[in-house]
C-alpha cells in the first residue's frame, strides 16, 4: 500500500484538496470546501493510486458542475 506511486498521488491529490478547501473558505462557498475535505479523505482512505486518482478527478468534475449550476 505504501509504495512510491501511492505516496506521490496522495501528496498531489491532498494538496489539490487543501487548495479547494482554502478557496471555498475564502469565497464562503460550501461546495469547494466540502469537495476539498472529500479529496483529502480520499487521499487517505483509497486502496490504490489509480482508484484515488479516479475518485479525485470525479470530485473535481462534480465541483465544477455544481459551481456552474450556481450552488
- The tens digit of pLDDT for each residue in 15-48 reads 999 999 999 999 999 999 999 999 999 999 998 9
Which cell numbers hold the place of 44? 487517505
Say what the pLDDT of residue 41 is: 96
Instruction: Tell me the residue ranges of DSSP E strands in 1-71.
Output: none
> Whole domain around residue 55: which residue ranges?
4-68
Whole-structure pTM value: 0.90
* Position 1 confidence tier, pLDDT thresholds 50, 70, 90: low
Count of structural domains within the chain: 1
C-alpha cell at 3: 509504495
Amino acid at each position: 500500500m505504501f509504495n512510491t506511486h501511492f505516496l506521490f498521488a496522495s501528496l498531489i491529490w491532498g494538496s489539490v484538496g487543501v487548495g479547494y478547501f482554502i478557496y471555498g473558505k475564502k469565497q464562503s462557498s460550501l461546495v469547494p470546501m466540502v469537495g476539498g475535505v472529500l479529496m483529502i479523505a480520499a487521499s487517505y482512505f483509497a486502496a490504490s493510486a489509480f482508484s484515488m486518482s479516479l475518485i479525485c478527478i470525479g470530485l473535481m468534475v462534480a465541483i465544477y458542475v455544481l459551481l456552474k449550476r450556481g450552488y
